[in-house]
Chains A and B, each alone.
Chain A
Amino acid sequence: MAVSLPDENFTLQATGRVARRQAVSRASKWVLLGASMIGVVVLFALMVDTIVVGWSRISWSFFTSYPSRFADQAGLRSSFIGSIWILSLTIVFVVPIAIATAIWIEEFAPKTRLLEFVKLNLANLAGVPSIIYGVLGLAVFVRLFGWGSSILAGSFTLFLMILPMTVIASQEAIRQVPPSLRQGSLALGATEWQTVWYHVLPGALPGIITGVILALARAAGETAALIMIGAFTFIAFDNTSIWDSFTTMPIQVYNWTVRPQEAFRQNAAAGILVLMTVVLTFNIAAAALRERFRN
């Protein structure tokens, strides 16, 4: 059986259905690239627009001034400090409780109806609009518990708001830890708790940190829920206790955007820049932490 070999100049040329399939495949690359670019382009356009409008307002006094009716004297001082308080407290509440919940669900919970019930609720809670958490916070923390419109009430509200997403992210991270690690640990005589504490958690930590940070970015930008629980807008003192009234950066930005004067728009853009920088810093910190724990 003599096979006629193609000569040197032969190139494989698909025809018919094969050619069509290949064309679709080539086109799909571009379509997918285009789809990915939409988000990037929009974010880029937003950033450029915000920087163009707001950059000139970024100065030291913008951080050291309290709100004012004069746009050029208004600053982020009280809202920046308020945001730091609120977010710090929220982290303190959410991290231990979210991790504990996730560990229970993934490692300890018997596979009963109760577990299914908890899981179902968490999944649903993650999709509840933030204003609902605001109403809940107002009814429970502000009024029932009598905490008033304080930093404590605000951070508890945000804690509840981001708890479901944080738990779900932590669950995912815990599930990524290979079962062989657990089996090895248990085989060597470690208790379940020791296994979780020394093997599962350290392995899951990078994923948990990512989840916490993403949830925190949502909390950092939250406005509606906090206005609902009675956060103020004009605050002219530095927060020193969890019982203080407070305002946060997104509330301040919102206030500035609804003002008719152009100069307040610039303040709003500058406020957005600061807010984005804070969130970006969180993300970078998370990436750094993640790398550290991974090694």
Chain B
Amino acid sequence: MALGIKFGWRTAAGIGLAASAMLLSVACGSDDSTSTATATATGSGGATATAAPTEAGLDYAALTGTIRIDGSSTVFPISEAVAEEFSKVSKVRANVGFSGTGGGFEKFCRGETEISDASRPIKDSEREACKANGITDIVEIQVAIDALTVMVNPQNDWAACMTTKEVHDAFKGGGATKWSDIRPEWPNENIKFYYPGTDSGTFDYFVEAIIAGVNKDEKATHRGDGTASEDDNILAQGIENDRYALGYFGFAYYLEAGQKLSAVAIDAGKGCVEPSFDAALDGTYVPLARPLFIYTRESLLAEKPEVLGFVNFYVENMQTLVPDVGYVTLPEALYQAQVAKVAAFLP
């Protein structure tokens, strides 16, 4: 018995050593094998894409290869939704990660990803980093708008417009408890606060735009003594039932179901601006609206049919997928401008 066990153990150890030796030898030849793999994928994809064009000019089903998408966690749900739908019509492996907008650009500028998700436009310093690696043909495609709306009860007849400073003072940690704390002429009544849960992108965005945005010196904290919910319906109901409520949630939800409430106009120093599509788009509804982008490269669109296919599919479907994940779709004119950016590369 002892012999048998010893034998078995030795064999197992031997196999383990042999296997790791084999893997190590495979590992050493890595550069060759990866580059060949990519080359084949590009080659076959290119041949088939032009061979069987559809009305879109691309046969998604015939495309193969791998696309790497990384960047903003805010854009991630959109890219994930597109990748999910794309995987149903194409064999292309579209992998999506979320290492943050900055982290995404760092990889993108090293050529480690084909598409970069971003919740802000690319910075000059990032363009420089790309340029240092010979990447100058960057294409920017706007995919959606992320916006917040500050809400009050319809019977609230005083807070029609608030400055960003006042919003900050209301929602900061240890901030106002009564309306009169914000402006002395407002009612001497306790404010009930409603805001999204701390894990939501909306909460993060609010902290970034208002709490940290207004007071850069102070250690920025958001108050924690209000009603926090991940469910926008609960927030809306709370505000609807309380005359002295103050809250905020995603603009998309306000458009969909928030009309029973009153939106507060925001004054960022250039007068009061009501939240609206147009204001969100023309950049006047600051700081509570921001555009969301994907970035890719002209050379990839021109030479890699799987990238062109994916980006085209992205643009074709984003207007239906974006509301699914809680963002605002682009207005028609802006949308057509994005379509045109991709159309230039279609066969």
Contacts and interface: CB of A to CB of B under 8 A. Distances in A.
B56 interface: no
A194 B329 CA distance: 72
B112 A230 contact: yes
B11 interface: no
B27 A260 contact: no
21 contacts: A67-B84, A68-B84, A69-B81, A96-B13, A97-B20, A145-B30, A197-B10, A198-B6, A202-B9, A227-B99, A228-B99, A230-B112, A234-B97, A243-B33, A245-B66, A245-B68, A259-B199, A260-B200, A260-B201, A260-B230, A293-B9
Contacts of A145: 27, 30
Interface of B: 5-6, 9-10, 13, 16-17, 19-20, 23, 26-27, 30-31, 33-34, 37, 66, 68, 70, 73, 76-77, 79-81, 83-84, 87, 93-99, 107, 110, 112, 196-197, 199-202, 230-231, 321, 324-326
Given A230-B107, A262-B231, A69 B325 contact: yes
B20 A230 contact: no
For the complex of A and B, the 5 pairs showing the least CB-CB separation, nearest first, are: A234-B96, A232-B95, A236-B87, A232-B97, A260-B200
A146 B30 contact: yes
A285 B77 CA distance: 38
A236 B19 contact: no
Contact of A234 (B19, B30, B95, B199): B95
Interface residues of A, number: 45
Given A96-B20, A202-B6, A242-B23, A236 B196 contact: no
A292 B20 contact: no
A227 B224 CA distance: 30
A282 to B, nearest CB: 17
A231 interface: yes
Nearest to A251: B97
A236 B5 contact: no
Contacts of B325: 69
Contact of B94 (A93, A97, A236, A258): A236
B70 A230 contact: yes
A96 B66 CA distance: 34
A289 B99 CA distance: 40
